[in-house]
Structure 1
Amino acid sequence: LNVTLNLDTWPKSCCQFEAEVTPSFPKCANDCIRHIKSQDFCLYHPTDEPSHRVSLTLILVVLGIVPLCLVIAIVSCVCCRSKAKPHVTPSPEKPPQPPKSPPKVLVIYSKDHHLYRDIVLKMCAFLQAKCGTRVLVDLLDTTSVSMVGR
């Protein structure tokens, strides 16, 4: 038996072949002696290690470019930070302005007891004198509240 293989269309990495012939006869019941043949068509042997000689210019280029990139990165970070956060002097805080019109208070009281009137009038005098508020005093009209509350 002869077998011919055309290796022109195969990739160059497929250059080691191993062929095995397994005879099948009734005498040996498919347990006959196998014949193995190996063939090597490689132009070079993959077990040979390529030389790892590194060029001096490659080393100098790498040692020159890496620090240059670091310097450019640092300078760009510093420039971007200074543009992003301009230095602003804090302005002094202004004290709160008093309201333009004095506040007004409406006090509604009832005549349940005769002392209520005196207490309410003293409280209104205090608010006008010490707090500077305008005070409006009104007597509670229970009949109008009961009509509105319905």
Structure 2
Amino acid sequence: MIIVFGVFSMAGTYSGVSIHGAMANTSAIGTVSAGLLGGPLVGLGVGTITGLHFYIFYGGFTGLACAVSPIIQGLLGGLVYWLAREKACDWKVGIGLGVIAQILEMIIILMLARPFVEAWNFIRVIAMPMMTFNGLGVGLSINCQNSLY
């Protein structure tokens, strides 16, 4: 699962768009979904792969923040998996968790990225689209995974 969702998350990074010198992407879909479907260790593994991939290949002024964020997002998905077993695989939970994961990412970017003004300008542009697309993407991913069982 770690390899499959790791590749999925890296694809989300590659599909990103450069805005204000940083990358807006959909890698959280794979990372959060991995935690929700496989638990904390899978979420941590995928988050680590995604974070290292971003840091090494994209970097930029959000590099550190975008390396830390997927680890937190994977663990968050895993925590929900651990706390809510059956309900964790509900598409509504997926959407909500995808949005929460993106809010956490925006907070981490504001805390770690420098200069702060650039981070703030980046967040102002990408916050709503990333919350929307990643939230819907996690919900869709969870819904599709449920239909396979």
TM-score, normalised relative to structure 1: 0.21
TM-score, normalised relative to structure 2: 0.21
Larger radius of gyration: 1
Q: Which has the higher strand share?
A: 1
Q: Which has the higher helix share?
A: 2
Considering Cα pairs closer than 8 Å and 6+ residues apart, tell me whether 1 or 2 has the greater RCO.
2
